């Protein structure tokens, strides 16, 4: 009913998928309006987000989030049927998004591989609500008796019969089953020479599960129940489908773990036997057990994580001796800011919030190494409100940006926010929380997000005072756990320290206590717990250190002196001031782009500005600098 263009917003610089209705006939206009109303009501990570709807040049348009990926129909054409675990995981994500839609009174009614996009992070994103039905409005007006809507091979029998009174959430439960069937078999549950013949099969014939082949019986049973002819015989809701698929996955993981344990016992026995044979009659050893040599070819490069392959192909190993700074000057500049956050999401650097002199920011921008894109413009009245001194981290497992605490005009903040392409969501934190704080530090691990230190403002007899903190918390599955109530000494309580995960240790470097900067390095063993001093000297005491893990070691950048150090298992290297270093500054951010192998320095406040002098330039910066190792 329209055409889709790739477009860019002139003011925000944000790319979008622009859907334009070419022939605005009355019935299509109504369906177009329903799509706008239905998608506008949805804010979920698995649903492609609607930015804007309107009329331009007499033609209605919808501006959707541009998803960098491809439809599952294209995936099936190039790869064929998916492994059961992968198919179940994708349909579970779709089911969660559809459950969200049902909670807001919206049916999709046209679930099929072509209407589910697979983004670059491997997540399923539901699109094309062009046949959406608002459950409590417009049902009889938009679906007249005898009108067949949907794609016959994937449509529920009651959807094809054109009986509006029978349409409900069970229609999309059927669609989930049809989608899962297609991902497992490479074809729709029903297909014939014509659409009418296919519709007749859907209404009258039982589904044939033979094309599913050797799919586990538990998963085949989920498909069969979703595709039941009678709506009441299907799962009661999309949420129930998601739960069933989650249980299937978890049971598969448990069985897999048991299988690995059994294989480990057998493998150990075989390895010991191989070693004994090699000791007495085997050929000269190459330095590792024959069992290991035999197993190595089975681990091909295709079995490695995709991100690791990209990093090894594109990013040269960081070298402190040869690295150099390079200023990037994109056509569209990031608005000036300081005391903001910057994290790498696997593809780009995300920058959120901060302060521009007296103005507090709550916008979100993305840097891809070439240009800036505004993902969330923010502004007054937006949520979360503008702040600075907050901490942010990218949750790699869930594909979310997490924001913790910070400070605004009212003082320090006790909030946790989550952002995904579907928008923001404030998380409920329960009774036990780290409390209000700013200038703290966070680090992501597979176990959870660790938060340490910072400062809290407190009213003491009408006078505001700051309390420095040295506690350690962990954010797991939507709740806080107190790991340690205080540090190993009173001096451990400080603000502005840097925190990161390096191997099996949580490292904390530097920071500020009152007016005194520190240059010490502490390590928390993630397996056994407890802080230990890893290094007391070696780096200039730094009240505002910028620290990233380069893969070759931990890089520490002193904003004021512009010196760099690298900490490895062999100790400290440096200091050095790399070629082309930017001017001295403070309150900037530094993050590591592992895909390109560069450290990205953003914004801050210049220490060379004649602030307060008439005509002096604004000391708050909008610069982007990258520290890179030249290719050999």
509-514 LR contacts (CB < 8 Å, sep 24+): 509/539, 509/542, 509/545, 509/547, 509/554, 509/556, 510/539, 510/541, 510/542, 510/543, 510/544, 510/545, 510/547, 510/556, 511/453, 511/542, 511/543, 511/545, 512/543, 512/544, 513/468, 514/468
List C-alpha distances in Å: 112 to 91, 95, 150, 177: 11, 12, 10, 10
Query: Starting from the edge strand earliest in sequence, which strands make up the sheet with 341-344, in order?
Result: 341-344, 349-356, 359-367, 372-376
Comparing C-alpha atoms, which of 316, 352, 348, 317 is closest to residue 334? 352
List C-alpha distances in Å: 595 to 334, 431, 551, 599, 603: 21, 39, 12, 11, 21
Q: Please answer whether residues 328 and 624 qualify as being in contact, where contact means their C-beta atoms are separated by less than 8 angstroms.
A: yes
User: 110 an active-site residue?
Assistant: yes
Residues 6 or more apart whose CB falls under 8 angstroms from that of 322 comprise 629, 630
Q: Given the structure tokens 């756990």, which residue do they identify?
A: 481
Q: Please answer whether residues 626 and 326 qualify as being in contact, where contact means their C-beta atoms are separated by less than 8 angstroms.
A: yes
Q: Is 3 helix (H, G, I), strand (E, B) or coil?
A: strand
Q: Please answer whether residues 485 and 471 qualify as being in contact, where contact means their C-beta atoms are separated by less than 8 angstroms.
A: yes
CA distance 90 to 574: 47
Beta bridge partners of 360: 355
Counting every residue, how long is the chain? 632
Selected catalytic residue, list 73, 110, 459, 610:
110
Q: How far is CA 165 from the centre of its chain?
A: 40
Provide the CB-side half-sphere exposure for 340 (13 A, CA): 36
Query: DSSP assignment, residue 606?
Result: E
Q: Please answer whether residues 457 and 466 qualify as being in contact, where contact means their C-beta atoms are separated by less than 8 angstroms.
A: yes
CA distance 123 to 113: 13
89: left (phi over 0), alpha (psi -120 to 50) or beta: alpha
- Vertex 196: Cα angle to 194 and 201 (nearest 5): 95
Beta bridge partners of 412: 407
CA distance 304 to 296: 13
Tell me whether the omega of the peptide bond preceding residue 575 falls within 30 degrees of 0, making it cis: yes
CA distance 180 to 226: 9
Beta bridge partners of 571: 568
Catalytically active residues are 110
């Amino acid at each position: 009913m329209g055409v889709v263009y790739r477009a860019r917003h002139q003011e925000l610089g944000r790319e979008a998928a622009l859907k334009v209705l070419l022939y605005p006939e009355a019935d299509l206009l109504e369906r177009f309006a329903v799509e706008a109303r239905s998608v506008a009501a949805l804010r979920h990570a698995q649903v492609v987000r609607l930015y804007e709807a309107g009329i331009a040049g007499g033609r209605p348009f919808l501006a959707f989030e541009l998803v960098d990926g491809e439809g599952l129909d294209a995936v099936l054409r190039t790869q064929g049927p998916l492994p059961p675990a992968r198919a179940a995981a994708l349909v579970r994500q779709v089911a969660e998004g559809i459950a969200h839609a049902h909670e807001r009174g919206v049916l999709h009614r046209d679930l099929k591989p072509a209407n589910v996009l697979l983004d670059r992070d491997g997540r399923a994103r539901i699109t094309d609500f062009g046949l959406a039905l608002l459950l409590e409005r417009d049902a009889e007006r938009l679906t007249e008796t005898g009108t067949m809507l949907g794609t016959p091979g994937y449509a529920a029998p009651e959807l094809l019969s054109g009986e509006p009174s029978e349409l409900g959430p069970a229609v999309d439960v059927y669609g989930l089953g049809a989608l899962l069937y297609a991902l497992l078999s490479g074809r729709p549950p029903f297909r014939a020479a014509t659409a009418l013949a296919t519709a007749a099969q859907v209404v009258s014939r039982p589904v044939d599960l033979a094309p599913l082949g050797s799919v586990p019986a538990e998963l085949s049973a989920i498909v069969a129940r979703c595709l039941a002819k009678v709506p009441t015989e299907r799962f009661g809701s999309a949420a129930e489908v998601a739960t069933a698929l989650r249980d299937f996955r978890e049971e598969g993981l448990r069985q897999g773990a048991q299988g690995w344990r059994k294989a480990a016992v057998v493998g150990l026995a075989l390895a010991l036997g191989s070693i004994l044979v090699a000791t007495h009659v085997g050929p000269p050893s190459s330095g590792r057990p024959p069992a290991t040599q035999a197993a190595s070819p089975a681990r091909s490069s295709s079995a490695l994580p995709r991100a690791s392959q990209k990093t090894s192909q594109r990013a040269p190993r960081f070298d402190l001796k040869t690295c150099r700074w390079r200023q990037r000057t994109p056509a569209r500049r990031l608005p000036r800011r300081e005391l903001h956050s910057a994290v790498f999401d696997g593809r780009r650097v995300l920058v959120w919030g901060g302060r521009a002199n007296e103005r507090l920011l709550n916008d979100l921008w993305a840097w891809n190494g070439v240009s800036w894109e505004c993902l969330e413009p923010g502004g007054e009245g937006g949520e979360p409100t503008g702040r600075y001194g907050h901490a942010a981290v990218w949750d790699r497992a869930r594909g979310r940006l997490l924001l913790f605490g910070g400070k605004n005009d009212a003082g320090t903040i006790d909030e946790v926010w989550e952002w995904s392409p579907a928008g923001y969501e404030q998380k409920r934190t329960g009774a036990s929380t780290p409390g209000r704080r700013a200038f703290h530090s966070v680090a992501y691990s597979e176990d959870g997000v660790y938060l340490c230190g910072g400062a809290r403002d407190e009213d003491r007899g009408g006078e505001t005072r700051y309390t420095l903190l040295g506690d350690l918390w962990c954010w797991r599955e939507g709740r806080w756990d107190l790991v340690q109530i205080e540090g190993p000494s009173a001096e451990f309580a400080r603000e502005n320290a840097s925190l990161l995960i390096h191997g099996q240790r949580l490292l904390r470097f530097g920071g500020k206590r009152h007016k005194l900067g520190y240059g010490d390095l502490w390590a928390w063993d993630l397996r056994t717990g407890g802080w230990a001093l890893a290094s007391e000297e070696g780096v200039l005491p730094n009240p505002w250190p910028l620290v990233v893990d380069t893969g070759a070691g931990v890089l520490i950048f002193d904003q004021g002196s512009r010196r760099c150090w690298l900490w490895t298992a062999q100790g400290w290297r440096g200091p050095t001031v790399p070629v082309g270093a930017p001017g001295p500054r403070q309150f900037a951010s530094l993050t590591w782009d592992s895909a390109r192998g560069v450290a990205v320095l953003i914004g801050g406040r210049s220490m060379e500005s004649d602030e307060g002098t008439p005509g002096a330039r604004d000391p708050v910066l909008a610069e982007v600098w990258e520290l890179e190792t030249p290719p050999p």
